[in-house]
Amino acid sequence: MSRVTLTQYLVEQQREHGHIPGQLRLLIEVVARTCKRIAISVNKGALGDVLGSTDSQNVQGEVQKKLDVIANELLLEANEWGGHLAAMASEEMDTIHVVPNRYPQGEYLLLYDPLDGSSNIEVNVSIGTIFSVLKKTGNHAGVSEADFLQCGRQQAAAGYCVYGPQTTLVLTVGDGVAMFTLDREMGSWVLTEENVRIPEDTREFAINMSNMRHWAAPMRRYIDECLAGKTGPRGKDFNMRWVASMVADVHRILCRGGIFMYPWDQREPDKPGKLRLMYEANPMAFLVEQAGGAATNGQQRILDIQPAKLHERVSVMLGSRHEVEHVTSYHQGS
Ligand code: AHG
Ligand code: MN
Ligand code: MN
């Protein structure tokens, strides 16, 4: 069996379609390599002093787990020196990290959720890393937070790595979605799935049902109708899954379809949702759309949202296209 590695895939994509310039290729390879290092830490678990919390909080007021901090540092260090980046932003950093003067500045901006699904670390359930790549636009000197505030449709690349029974890297550079499995003996990423497609219809939803009483009416209506099953208005029985790691829930949807939702809820009415637009929703929406699915906030396409701030939150409904259109139609005009 001939094995295509990540490097070969990127080189061939560049040759055939010309949309992976050298700096972007280096960026993706550095992120992928760092995910291998994060995977090693994750796998060590209790043997590696990587479990448990730190005594610090991130900008969103969440207690940082040791692995949140480790993964953040690894990505930061690995991406500083290559000359491919102007700056980075992360869930675990209050503001952007500009590439220090001692290194050349590149034209890309990297955003990431270094460790997604932190509540699952200690219980040995799949967790992941999510990343989004933007290009600095305009030719002004320096870089500021304003350079990051671009719509998701402007992403040059996006992906995630899921640390589960297998370690899998899922990537889009705007030409479909490819999956790579980590070959631990060889230390390389091997292409194991290309042209990933999400089925348009599904009978499986993912949502934290314990929040149901706090949702808006359209969201409650949608789930009520799913729960009513075959004899209800939808005329079919639904199954439910909720890993509580967005990476793992989205990965399941890319593999076999489904719909994932994290809606607005009335406990924090001023926040549009729990998930973060720029390093959770945007990269996942890009991947899902590239696989033929849809992603909205109930009102509009996630990739069309103009961000106003780095750590902005958003409602998320993504996955199988017809199902996302269905739940979105309940929200529109409400
Ligand atoms: P993070 O660990 O990066 O803060 O993200 C956690 C997110 C997301 O991964 C997941 O879908 C959701 O929070 C889980 O929320 P519940 O605790 O409501 O299940
Ligand atoms: Mn997350
Ligand atoms: Mn996180």
Atom of ligand 1 nearest to the CA of 116: 3
pLDDT of 166 higher than 70: yes
Helix, strand and coil percent figures for the chain, each rounded to 5: 35, 25, 40
Under the banding of pLDDT at 50, 70 and 90, the label for residue 18 is confident
pLDDT of 264 higher than 70: yes
**Helix locations, 100-258, DSSP H:** 145-148, 217-228, 246-256
Q: Which of 146, 117, 156 is nearest to 244 (CA)?
A: 117
Q: Which of 111, 119, 126 is nearest to 64 (CA)?
A: 119
Residue 202's alpha-carbon distances to 48, 73, 230, 236, 255, in angstroms, are: 40, 39, 14, 10, 12
Closest-lying ligand to the alpha carbon of 69? 3
For residue 261, list its beta bridge partners: 317
Give the mutation target among 246, 264, 271 for probing the ligand 1 site: most ligand atoms within 8 A of CB.
246
What tens digit of pLDDT does each residue of 86-101 get? 999 999 999 999 999 9
* Residue ranges of domains in the chain, CATH in brackets: 6-193 (3.30.540.10), 204-333 (3.40.190.80)
What tens digit of pLDDT does each residue of 119-155 get? 999 999 999 999 999 999 988 989 999 999 999 999 9
Q: Residue with the nearest Cα to atom 16 of ligand 1?
A: 244
Give the 3-state secondary structure of residue 317: strand
* Residue with token string 């929703």: 281
Q: Which of 258, 333, 260 is nearest to 300 (CA)?
A: 333
Instruction: Give pLDDT, residue 1.
Output: 66
Q: Are 254 and 291 in contact (CB under 8 A)?
A: yes
**72 touches ligand 1 (CB under 6 Å):** no
Mean pLDDT, range 217-222, rounded to an integer = 98
Give the mutation target among 161, 275, 317 for probing the ligand 1 site: most ligand atoms within 8 A of CB.
275
Residue 124's alpha-carbon distances to 160, 165, 278, in angstroms, are: 18, 10, 27
Instruction: Give pLDDT, residue 59.
Output: 87
Atom of ligand 1 nearest to the CA of 262: 11
Closest-lying ligand to the alpha carbon of 119? 1
Residue 41's alpha-carbon distances to 34, 121, 280, in angstroms, are: 11, 11, 22
Atom of ligand 1 nearest to the CA of 113: 3
Give the mutation target among 119, 252, 313 for probing the ligand 1 site: most ligand atoms within 8 A of CB.
119
Which residues, in sequence order, are CB contacts of 124 under 8 Å at separation 6+?
Answer: 45
Half-sphere exposure in the Cβ direction for 164 (13 Å, CA)? 19
Instruction: Give pLDDT, residue 2.
Output: 81
Closest-lying ligand to the alpha carbon of 75? 3
Closest-lying ligand to the alpha carbon of 114? 3
What tens digit of pLDDT does each residue of 22-48 get? 999 999 999 999 999 999 999 999 998
For residue 282, how far is its CA from the centre of ligand 2 (angstroms)? 12
Q: Residue with the nearest Cα to atom 3 of ligand 1?
A: 116
Instruction: Give pLDDT, residue 139.
Output: 86
Q: What would you measure as the largest C-alpha separation in the chain, in angstroms? A: 66
Q: Are 259 and 327 in contact (CB under 8 A)?
A: yes
For residue 81, how far is its CA from the centre of ligand 1 (angstroms)? 31
**246 touches ligand 1 (CB under 6 Å):** yes
Q: Which of 119, 320, 328, 149 is nearest to 221 (CA)?
A: 328
